[in-house]
Amino acid sequence: MLKQLKFVQGAVAKKDLLPAMTHFRIEDGTVRSYNGRMAISSPINLDIACCPKAEPMVKAIGNCDESVRMTLTTGGRLSIRSGKSTWFVPTIEGETPHVMPEGDHVEFNGAAFLDACKALWPFVGNDASRQWARGILLNEHSAFATNNTCLVEYWLGVRMPFVVNVPREAIKEIVRIDEPPTHAQLDSTSMTFHYTDGRWIRTQLLDTTWPDLTKILDKPSSPVPVPPDLFDGLAVLRSSVDGASRVYMVDGKLRTSLEEGTGAVYDLGHEQTGCYNVAMLELLRDVVTQIDMGQYPGPALFFGDKIRGAITGYRM
């Protein structure tokens, strides 16, 4: 039972502004959560109907080490008994805003979609002023993500039968679950990813109107292998960078300052020129095999397995 509750816990609201959204809804052998943007559902072996507070219920079930018995008390609480222990979880009554899947059923390659989500998750933006960038765009044979500094395209290897922009909070749950969806449901504003055993994740969709990415990604480039110890050097210098996390590449060295005799220096032994955010460069570890920094101060284009992208630097 704890497994089912953890599956749906990702759509529990963090704030108690609307009580129903911080509660599970248990009915008809299923448990659901809904935070106003995303809903998650799983079958559960319970024959009662109630809306228990999510956080204390998960804690209670997590402490159960024997058979569990649940009943509703006359006071309207959910009683959870295991061995010598009993927990009483608050519930709410009445209608709740919990939603169900809607739209047409669509077959698609769930394994390719999951691989794209795992590859692009580190690059999904979190800028509230650019809502369209807070997701992964699926379009034809590619998936795209950007965090304002890095723009990344992942080649799916198959054609997706829809163009959608899936929000970061849904991507986070899809990556956490780490199972390919079996199929989807799609309407004009929402998408539901279905899993085996009747589980599903429904999410609102973001705007699919993105800038023309080919203006950046299709530029001519002359990539070379990534310097073998680039990321080792970044790790060494990470704690010494300034407030903007700048790292400079000059004269075959990585530097945290352009002023001689200050900051920290790492002998890279590879002639590159540029200035980049160290955390953004570190996102490329284990992703990129080739990079072209020769267009600095323009974006550096990079390439890896099923991936290409661009990273924007600072001006020196």
Say which CATH number the domain at 37 has: 3.10.150.10
On whether residue 97 sits in a domain, the answer given is: no
Domain count, the chain: 3
Q: Are 230 and 267 within one domain?
A: yes
Q: Are 38 and 8 within one domain?
A: yes
Q: Show the domain range for 270.
A: 217-311
Percent of the chain with pLDDT over 70: 98
Nearest to 20 by CA among 89, 77, 93, 73: 93
Question: How do residues 76-121 score in pLDDT, each as one tens digit?
Answer: 899 988 888 999 999 988 777 778 999 999 999 999 999 999 999 9
Contacts of 110 (CB under 8 A, 6+ apart): 180, 181, 182, 183, 193
Q: Are 128 and 170 within one domain?
A: yes
Q: Are 231 and 196 within one domain?
A: no
Higher per-residue pLDDT: 143 or 258: 143
Q: Is the pLDDT of residue 209 over 70?
A: yes
The residue out of 211, 241, 266 marking a domain boundary is: 211
Q: Are 206 and 112 within one domain?
A: yes
On whether residue 120 sits in a domain, the answer given is: yes
On whether residue 98 sits in a domain, the answer given is: no
Q: Are 206 and 116 within one domain?
A: yes
The predicted model gives 5-28 an average pLDDT of 79
The predicted model gives 204-211 an average pLDDT of 95
The residue out of 71, 92, 113 marking a domain boundary is: 92
Q: Is the pLDDT of residue 13 over 80?
A: no
Q: Are 173 and 199 within one domain?
A: yes
The residue out of 182, 211, 240 marking a domain boundary is: 211
Q: Are 72 and 113 within one domain?
A: no
The predicted model gives 34-40 an average pLDDT of 90
Q: Is the pLDDT of residue 239 over 90?
A: yes
Percent of the chain with pLDDT over 90: 66
Q: What's the pTM value of the predicted model, to 2 decimals?
A: 0.90
Q: Are 21 and 57 within one domain?
A: yes
Q: Are 85 and 50 within one domain?
A: yes
Q: Note whether 113 and 137 are within 8 A (CB).
A: no
Question: How do residues 176-207 score in pLDDT, each as one tens digit?
Answer: 999 999 999 999 999 999 999 999 999 999 99
How many Cα neighbours within 13 Å face the side chain of 39? 22
On whether residue 111 sits in a domain, the answer given is: yes
On whether residue 99 sits in a domain, the answer given is: no
Q: Are 108 and 194 within one domain?
A: yes
Contacts 24+ apart (CB under 8 A), 296-301: 298/219, 299/151, 299/216, 300/274, 300/276, 301/217, 301/219, 301/221, 301/223
Q: Note whether 174 and 164 are within 8 A (CB).
A: no
On whether residue 130 sits in a domain, the answer given is: yes
How many Cα neighbours within 13 Å face the side chain of 282? 13
Lowest average pLDDT, out of 36-40, 267-271, 284-288, 307-311, goes to 267-271
Structure token pair of residue 4: 């089912």
Q: What is the pLDDT of residue 16?
A: 65
d(C-alpha 305, C-alpha 287), whole Å: 7
d(C-alpha 254, C-alpha 256), whole Å: 7
d(C-alpha 140, C-alpha 90), whole Å: 47
Q: Are 88 and 138 within one domain?
A: no
Burial 10-39 (b: 16+ CB within 10 A, else e): bbbbeeeeeebbbbbbbbeebbbbbbeebb
Question: How far does CA 14 lie from the centroid of its chain?
Answer: 17
Question: How do residues 262-276 score in pLDDT, each as one tens digit?
Answer: 899 999 887 788 999
